[in-house]
Amino acid sequence: MEALAGLPLLDLVIQGDVRSVAHHLWSLGHWSYLYPQQGHSCILTRLQKSDPIFNMGVDIMKPVFNLEPKYRVTTLTREELTRGPRTPLAVKGLVWFTDGSGTVEGTRAGVYGQSANRRLSLSLGKHATVFQAEVYVKLVCVHEIELRTGQRNMLVFVLIIRRL
In a domain, 158, yes or no: no
Domains contained in the chain, number:
2
Q: Are residues 49 and 83 in the same domain?
A: no
Domain-located, residue 42? yes
Q: 160 in a domain, yes or no? A: no
Is residue 82 domain-shared with residue 142, that is, in the same domain? yes
Same domain, 45 and 84: no
β strands within 80-156, DSSP E:
96-102, 107-113, 118-125
State whether 46 and 108 are in the same domain: no
Tell me the per-residue pLDDT of 75-102, one tens digit each, with 9 for 90 and over. Answer: 666 666 666 545 455 656 677 888 888 8
Q: How confident is the model at residue 18, as a pLDDT?
A: 83
> For residue 161, what pLDDT is reported?
57
User: Within a domain: residue 64?
Assistant: no
Q: Give the residue numbers spanning the domain of 101.
A: 78-149
Q: Indicate the SS3 state at residue 57.
A: coil
Do 143 and 82 share a structural domain? yes
Give 10-residue mean pLDDT values along the chain (164 residues).
Answer: 70 83 80 74 79 74 71 64 56 77 89 83 89 89 83 67 51
Q: Looking at the structure, do residues 87 and 133 belong to the same domain, yes or no?
A: yes
pTM of the model: 0.45
Q: 134 lies in a domain?
A: yes
